[in-house]
């Protein structure tokens, strides 16, 4: 399944690249209006990590089907998650997952008036997610692998990521709804219908963006730790960030 997913990622890489450079061009055009450094830097990092992930996956395909075909069958090669190239690919994936959740934490921080206290716990959850994810993959570097520990650490990573996405989405959307209703009751708007539409669009945007993040990163990727096969208990499927 891994090679098939990699082919799918490769096929849409051109689409992601086009959208990425179109976004950068749009930011450049509006630079005089102010550029958000956090979102811009995160955007570049996410694209770089995703591109590196696809490049490593492609390199592994070349090794498995061409370079090492005479020494080891492709099936056995791709089943070996301890290959250093595969480990590097998984490290990039986990880092991408962390940055995606970090964007949601930053959105919560901004919506709640840049209140640092409300972002402390979600930030710790993101750091914990990153730590257990790295620890799970790093088990391959140990002299003797404990697949039970590897599986538990991988499951913990997704268990931290998914609630972070869901809870922060609800809290952020609730804050937006609260301010929208407070503004409507305090100020006399000439066009209340437009205000309702604007608040609904903003709330739907928050839910849509984060739902895509949850399904693309946490839910789909959690399948890699549900298998009873210990040889693939830490395998992370290649996935381009949404």
* pLDDT mean across residues, the chain: 78
**Both tokens of residue 169?**
């989405």
Query: What would the pLDDT profile of 153-162 be if each residue is shown by its tens digit?
Result: 999 999 999 9
Given a cut of 80, is residue 53 above it in pLDDT? yes
Give the pLDDT of residue 209: 52
Query: What would the pLDDT profile of 115-149 be if each residue is shown by its tens digit?
Result: 999 999 999 999 999 999 999 999 999 888 899 99
Alpha-carbon distance of 136 to 18, in angstroms, equals: 34
């Amino acid at each position: 399944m891994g090679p098939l997913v990699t082919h799918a990622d490769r096929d849409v890489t051109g689409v992601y690249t086009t959208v990425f450079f179109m976004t950068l061009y749009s930011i450049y055009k509006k630079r005089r209006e102010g550029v958000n450094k956090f979102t811009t830097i995160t955007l570049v990092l996410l694209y770089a990590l995703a591109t590196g992930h696809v490049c490593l996956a492609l390199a592994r395909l070349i090794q498995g089907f061409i370079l090492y075909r005479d020494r080891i069958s492709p099936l056995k090669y791709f089943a070996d998650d301890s290959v250093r190239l595969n480990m590097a690919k998984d490290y990039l994936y986990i880092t991408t997952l962390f940055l995606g959740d970090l964007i949601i934490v930053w959105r919560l921080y901004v919506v709640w008036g840049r209140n640092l206290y409300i972002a402390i716990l979600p930030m710790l959850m993101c750091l914990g997610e990153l730590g257990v994810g790295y620890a799970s993959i790093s088990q391959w570097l140990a002299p003797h692998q404990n697949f039970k520990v590897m599986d538990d650490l991988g499951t913990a990573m997704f268990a931290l990521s998914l609630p972070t996405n869901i809870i922060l989405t609800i809290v952020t959307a609730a804050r937006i709804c609260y301010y929208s209703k407070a503004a409507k009751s305090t100020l006399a708007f000439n066009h209340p219908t437009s205000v309702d539409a604007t608040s609904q669009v903003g709330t739907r945007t928050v839910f849509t963006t984060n739902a895509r993040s949850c399904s693309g990163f946490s839910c789909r990727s959690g399948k890699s730790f549900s298998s009873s096969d210990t040889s693939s208990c830490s395998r992370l499927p290649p996935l381009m960030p949404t």
